[in-house]
């Protein structure tokens, strides 16, 4: 409904007015692109992109193969005796 009303209103405008409308639309699109590009990666990325980025980050970590002792995973090691 709104789309049709806007189309009707646009049909009534002269060339100069249409140029101003086109400039305004270009400005709005520019602002939208600027806002999206300045957003942090985690906000603009899809879940698949975030997962891929995380896997890439993990693959760059040092691979020392050193792990915690089994005792460190024990619940008893949390509490003092």
DSSP character at residue 72: G
pLDDT for 77 equals 77
- pTM as predicted: 0.44
pLDDT tens column, 25-67: 999 999 888 776 777 888 888 999 999 999 999 999 988 888 8
Gap between the Cα atoms of 77 and 65, Å rounded: 22
pLDDT for 60 equals 92
Using 50, 70 and 90 to split pLDDT, how confident is the model at 81?
low
Task: Give me the mean pLDDT over the 60-76 stretch.
Answer: 84
pLDDT for 42 equals 84
Q: Is 46 left (phi over 0), alpha (psi -120 to 50) or beta?
A: beta
Tokens in use for 40? 């942090």
């Amino acid at each position: 409904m709104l789309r049709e009303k806007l189309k009707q209103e646009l049909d009534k405008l002269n060339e100069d007015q249409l140029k101003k409308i086109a400039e305004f639309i270009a400005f709005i699109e520019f602002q939208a692109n600027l806002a999206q590009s300045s957003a942090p990666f985690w906000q603009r990325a899809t879940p698949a992109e975030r997962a891929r980025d995380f896997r890439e980050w993990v693959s760059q970590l040092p691979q020392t193969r050193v792990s915690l002792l089994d005792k460190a995973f024990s619940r008893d090691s949390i509490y003092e005796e």
